[in-house]
Amino acid sequence: MNFHIKKVAIVGGSSAGLLSAVTLKYFFPKLHILLLYSKKHAPIGVGESTTAWFPQFLHEHLNISREEFYKSIWPVWKLGIRFEWGVPHISHFNYTFDGQFRYESQLLSKIPGFYCMHDMRQASRYSILMDKHHAPLLHDGKGNIKILSDGFGYHIDVYEFINYLTAKALSLGVDIQDLEVLDAKLDEYGNVQHLCCADDLKVNADLFIDCSGFKSQLLGKALQEKFISFGYRLFCDSAIVGNWKRRSPIFPFTTATTMNSGWRWRIDLRDRVSFGYVYSSSFCSQDEAIQEYLSLTPYATEDLRKISFRSGRYKRFWVNNVIAIGNASGFVEPLESTGQHMIVETIWRVVLALQDSNLCPTPKLIDATNRYVVDLWDEICDFLTLHFKFNRRLDTPFWKYCQEETDLGSLQNLVELYQDSGVCHAIAHLIPKSSIFEIDGYLTLLCGQQVLVKNLQPMADAEITEWLKYRQILHNNLENSVSPQEAFYFLESLY
Ligand SMILES: Cc1cc2nc3c(=O)[nH]c(=O)nc-3n(C[C@H](O)[C@H](O)[C@H](O)COP(=O)(O)OP(=O)(O)OC[C@H]3O[C@@H](n4cnc5c(N)ncnc54)[C@H](O)[C@@H]3O)c2cc1C
């Protein structure tokens, strides 16, 4: 049964709900959009590190100017992820957002990546900037500053982001109400007829968007959609989260550090640093996790809190006239910061389907959109398994278990090819078609963790010289880069 959408009701007033409201109102100004949230249920309050697609979506698809966004939020530029991970004798490797395996240089004759298998340090501009702790901005010496390129993510304060989006949604004409949704009344076909809310209020709409977070009030509870767990492949299920008032320079990247029973993030915001220890409750208790966390972040005692989660996704995110976005539709641990990414990606797929169907989506279109989004979730799960299977940093029971028991799923062939021949042209055929991480992501994890290659071709002296020359040129071009603090100072005077 097709349905024509004139009114949309959104449940949830955090990142997913507000981004959905703003996006739908921006692309379909005539839609009546009602957003319900409840002060009884606080936003989860994490989701501060993004991929590069997130700023692109805000600035290019929603047409939000950088100036407006920066003045409201002051995000920190994220050039990539610094992984303190892999083999013990190397301090870190960088997963950059500027495609460090895709360089084209007349100096280098081999396939991009061949050199990184031997030495991945500072293989791209972003990697050099990350090691310098510099932002992707260059200073021309005359008081002008220029953004190097657009392919970076953000670190955002999630509460400031919610405030910003609330004002944006109101200015676009979204109707926002504090009203708790208790249940939903379904018709005989499994469509939601109306929401049953506090004070016996009923809310009707043609399309319902569930952004209620882990509660999954509509998709999970009312529609009872099947949940597909990733728990047998990704073993973490808990996090300790805290903050540290800034007392050191800003890092323009997220840091992921190996811990005894999981890993710890560091996300630098302008005035504070967020730290979280993601761990497996089968390998350490909450008290042990807090102890280990505090031993490394002694100042991060304010607002320390515990979050439990389950990794997985619902079988479909779009069922009849219900769409779930954000944590209400799926979740994996934030090692690759994919939460906000999946929010904007899912909304974007919905926008495209609604545009294609003139707001009258057919079951086949809904099926195809489901397939696309579900494949992305599954790719994220596969990609994360690479991080756990090959990290040899610590010899604890958790990491031994990960090395032995992590199921690589559909990446098995890709890994076997890499272990046989290293970075080669054929690897590109084994990367999913609509990949979030693309070939750079996969090769970063394989080379960065120094996964052993049976037939590794040696690097001739001439090639070593070329590789060093290439990196020196990159360095020279970045002589005028500035720190995030300096960049903020310039931009504040500009805006
Ligand atoms: C430990 C951890 C770390 C994370 N780190 C990152 C990260 O670095 N980067 C990233 O991209 N993602 C991260 N995520 C994912 C992150 O949580 C999501 O990206 C996103 O912020 C979640 O937003 P949401 O809108 O789906 O849910 P929530 O923030 O939970 O919001 C739910 C909303 O629904 C409303 N609501 C709930 N029930 C009802 C009801 N019955 N009636 C009315 N309203 C209701 C609430 O009031 C609230 O407004 C992390 C998640 C976890 C658990």
User: In 3-state terms, what secondary structure has residue 396?
Assistant: coil
CB 37 less than 6 A from any atom of ligand 1? yes
All structural domains of the chain with their residue ranges: 7-48+157-232+311-380, 238-308
Decide: 240 in ligand 1 pocket, CB within 6 A. Answer: no
Query: Is 181 annotated to bind ligand?
Result: yes
pLDDT of the residue at 301: 66
- Below-50 pLDDT ranges, the chain: none
Taking the C-alpha atoms of residue 456 and residue 345, their distance in angstroms, rounded to an integer, is 38
Determine the pLDDT at residue 1.
55
What local confidence, expressed as pLDDT, does residue 125 receive? 95
If you search the block for the tokens 């379909």, which residue do you land on? 28
Task: Report which ligand 1 atom has the smallest distance to the Cα of 17.
Answer: 25
Kind and range of the H or E element at 174? Answer: none
CA of 62 to the centre of ligand 1 (A): 21
Pocket flag, ligand 1, residue 326 (CB < 6 Å): yes
Binding site membership of 334 for ligand 1 (Cβ less than 6 Å): yes
d(CA 441, CA 383): 9
17 CB under 6 A from ligand 1?
Answer: yes
Selecting from 3.65.10.10, 3.30.70.360, 3.30.70.120, 3.30.9.100, what CATH number does the domain 238-308 have?
Answer: 3.30.9.100
Q: Relative to the CA of 278, which ligand 1 atom is closest?
A: 1
User: If you measure from the C-alpha of residue 276 to the centroid of ligand 1, how many angstroms do you get, rounded to a whole number?
Assistant: 16
Of the candidates 153, 189, 172, 191, the residue with the CA atom closest to the CA atom of residue 49 = 153
| Tens of pLDDT, residues 245-255 | 888 899 999 99
248: buried, middle or exposed (CB in 10 Å: 19+, 13-18, 0-12)? exposed
Contacts of 160 (CB under 8 A, 6+ apart): 72, 73
**Residue of 52, 71, 40 whose CA lies nearest to 213:** 40
Residue 239 CB less than 6 A away from ligand 1 = yes
For residue 327 and ligand 1, the question of a CB distance below 6 A is answered with yes
CATH no. of 7-48+157-232+311-380: 3.50.50.60
- DSSP-derived secondary structure for 352-395: HHHHHTTT---HHHHHHHHHHHHHHHHHHHHHHHHHHHS--S--
pLDDT score recorded for residue 302: 64
CB-CB contact of 42 with 370 (8 Å) = no
Q: How far is the CA of 286 from the centre of ligand 1 (A)?
A: 22
The tens digit of pLDDT for each residue in 399-450 reads 999 999 999 999 999 999 999 999 999 999 999 989 999 999 999 999 999 9
SS3 state of residue 427: helix
Ligand 1 atom showing the smallest separation from residue 181 Cα? 42
pLDDT score, position 298: 76
Cα of 325 vs centre of ligand 1, distance in Å, is: 10
Which two structure tokens, joined as six digits, stand for 198? 């506090």
Closest ligand 1 atom to Cα of 179? 43
Mutate to test the pocket of ligand 1, among 35, 36, 37, 177 (most ligand atoms within 8 A of CB): 37
